[in-house]
Structures are given as structure tokens and as C-alpha cells.
Amino acid sequence: MMKKPKITYVSKSKIYPAFGDAHESPPRIKIREDLPKAVKKYVLEHEKYHIKDWQRLAKENKKYNWVWGEIKACVYGVLKHPLGALLCGIMTLHPYRLKFYLQRIKKGE
Ligand SMILES: [Zn+2]
């Protein structure tokens, strides 16, 4: 069983340039409060996966590989919140484009 992480929403300046951050023990997750809702949901699932992954590996006495861990957490997050992952990707690459998309969505074109 996974120990429930404590989740806190923090200001952009606290964890910039990251969107979220996970800590193994005690299990804690920080998420940037100014992100769009869908992105926050995606980041939360992503960070939750990291903690589950770390706890499982620790129990099995296995070494953590951060590249593989990142890939697994991303895939898991994408499956749970595809829209949030998509927005997250757009924001990572081109923040100005997200603004453009949001304006278009609002205008409905
Ligand atoms: Zn990660």
C-alpha cells in the first residue's frame, strides 16, 4: 500500500522552472498553483507515480533509474490526463503558443 502523499500548491517562483516536485519520505508533492487545471491534474498523477515507484523499488530493494522512472511517470500521466499532458507539453515548449490556443478555444474557432 502506498502512503498517501501530502499535496501542497505553491507559487510559481518556489519551484520554477518545474511544474511539480515529489519527495520520497515523508511522501510530499508540490504543484505550481498558477497552472491550468488540466495541467495540475496531469502533474499530480505524474508525481504520485514517482512516489509509488520509489516506494515499490525500496521495498524490492532495487535501484532507481531516473530516466526510466521519468518515462514511466510520463506515460502514466498521459494515460490518466491526456489533455493535461498535451497542454503541459505545449507549455514546456512554447508558452506563448498556449496563450494563443486558449484564446482560440475561448473564441471557439
Ligand atoms: Zn517526473
Distance 98 CA to ligand 1 centre (A): 21
Distance 77 CA to ligand 1 centre (A): 10
Domains of the chain, residue spans: 35-107
- Output 18-26 pairs: Cβ under 8 A, ≥24 positions apart: 19/43, 19/88, 19/91, 20/44, 20/46, 20/47, 21/47, 22/47, 22/48, 22/50, 22/51, 24/51, 24/54, 24/55, 24/58
Distance 99 CA to ligand 1 centre (A): 24
Distance 50 CA to ligand 1 centre (A): 7
pLDDT in tens, the chain (109 residues): 567 899 999 999 998 878 999 999 899 999 999 999 999 999 999 999 999 999 999 999 999 888 899 899 999 999 999 999 998 887 877 766 667 777 888 887 6
